[in-house]
Amino acid sequence: MKLYKRDIFSQIEPYIGDETIIVLHGARQVGKTHILKYIQNWLEERGKKSLYYDLEYSDTLDLINHGTTAFINELSGKKYIEGEEIYVLIDEIQYLDNPSSFLKIIADHYKNIHLIVSGSSTFDIKTKFTNSLAGRTTPFEVFPLSFSEFLTFKESEYHVTRQPSSSAIHSFTEYYQEFIKYGGYPKVVLEPIVEKKKRYLIQMIDTYIRKDIRDLTTISDIRKFNSMLKILASQSGQLLSMKALSNETDTAFTTIQKYLSILEETYVIKLVPPYSHSTSVEISKNPKIYFYDSGLLSILWLNNFQDTIIGNVFETNIFSELVKLYGRQNIHFWRTKSGKEINFILELPPHLIPIEVKTNFQQYSSKHLAHFTAKYKSEPGKVVALLGDPKNEHYLYPWQLINIFPIPKRG
């Protein structure tokens, strides 16, 4: 298997060798195993000793579930000498009966053993992890591929830069339409046959519902959960009314809240809060809902991939790109009772930047951005579109989102 460098590796690298445990978490199939394998290869190239364990294998899981003594004995069988420095990579850590206890003992008593572990989601991890690990872990969120990573996996001759050539822009435009259409799950990106891409996404949805949802929480009516998931997919990019969703699915309001929390914790959706300083004129109660992957969204909503660019699918894709670049907690939207609306507000103090999303630059009107920038004294707004010609430096193609301002370092 060819190992491609993911962007998040540059965030992880400074922590490799620290006493804290590196924890990768994210949705299924986003490439956590790939990253672990890349890290192991990187370590071996530098002469570091490493071992990899996959807890989806029952015998490996049984071994580590027997406790730290059994694990240390296992390492000794791998020619590990007590006291020497070694890196241990453990995939799917949430399958352990008591991962917190295991990790705490290793972290506290075996400083020479550097743990790098992955878990399928924060929901999986939080159900078994306890506060005993406070200060002992350094977490990293893994999302589907960014467009920059998409180009790497496609082995494009062009790479995202702040000032791409005209030939690169032409290539990016074609690639980006594919990126919107099929999304950024690595296995889907690498698969050349469209029907197989679709099948992989359907299998991911089925595994998510059957394994992550049915096995890890108590959902009494999986049919209603499925129904809600499809409705949510049709509403990506829209204001979410939990009451309306409750009525439409004939599901109790408290159950809807629980389902939405699970979907957020397992990195399927994000409920984006509004940006508001004046509740008298701005809608500040309901969040907007976004999915993290446009390909997954299309299969859930339409049961197929679309040849044309659909506005809310493109907007969902841009949301996902902003998350990967600037962090999911820093994104808001803005909407007033009078109907003024801006798709995204990036808030990284002291920066406050409004962003409009259109499929074509020609669809853009400056009215709402001008109102927002005047009211909040924000930085100039940006317009993001895939088609048409940008008029000035504030008009951006999606791959130019890196140009908004320097990317912050996030751990």
**Which residues neighbour 303 within 8 Å (Cβ) at sequence distance 6 or greater?**
none
Q: How far apart are the C-alpha atoms of 93 and 52, rounded to whole Å?
A: 12
Q: pLDDT at position 127, please?
A: 64
Q: pLDDT at position 396, please?
A: 94
Residues of the chain scoring pLDDT < 70 = 121-132, 210-212, 214-218, 278-284, 406-411
Query: CATH number of the domain at 9-142, out of 1.10.10.10, 3.60.20.10, 3.40.50.180, 3.40.50.300?
Result: 3.40.50.300
- Other Cβ atoms closer than 10 A to 231: 15
Q: pLDDT at position 278, please?
A: 61
Instruction: Give 47-90 pLDDT, tens digit per residue.
Output: 999 999 999 999 999 999 998 999 999 888 887 777 789 999 99
Positive/negative CA dihedral, 264, 300, 333, 348: positive
Angle between helices 253-265 and 242-249 in degrees, nearest 10: 110
Q: pLDDT at position 219, please?
A: 73
Give backbone dihedrals phi and psi of 15, rounded to 5 degrees, phi first.
-95, -10
Q: pLDDT at position 410, please?
A: 46
Q: How far apart are the C-alpha atoms of 12 and 42, rounded to whole Å?
A: 12
Tokens of 238: 């829209």
Instruction: Give 267-291 pLDDT, tens digit per residue.
Output: 999 999 999 776 555 555 789 999 9
**Residue by residue, what is the 3-state secondary structure of the chain?**
CCCCCCCCHHHHHHHCCCCCEEEEEECCCCCHHHHHHHHHHHHHHCCCCEEEEECCCHHHHHHHHCCHHHHHHHHHHCCCCCCCCEEEEEECHHHCCCHHHHHHHHHHHCCCEEEEEEECCHHHHHHHCCHHHCCCEEEEEECCCCHHHHHHHCCCCCCCCCCCCHHHHHHHHHHHHHHHHHCCCHHHHHCCCHHHHHHHHHHHHHHHHHHHHHHHCCCCCHHHHHHHHHHHHHCCCCECCHHHHHHHHCCCHHHHHHHHHHHHHCCCEEEECECCCCCCCECCCCCEEEECCHHHHHHHHHCCCCCCCCHHHHHHHHHHHHHHHHCHHHEEEEEECCCCEEEEEEEECCEEEEEEECCEHHHCCCHHHHHHHHHHCCCCCEEECCECCCCCCCEECHHHHHHCCCCCCCC
Q: Which residue ranges make up each domain of the chain?
A: 9-142, 148-403
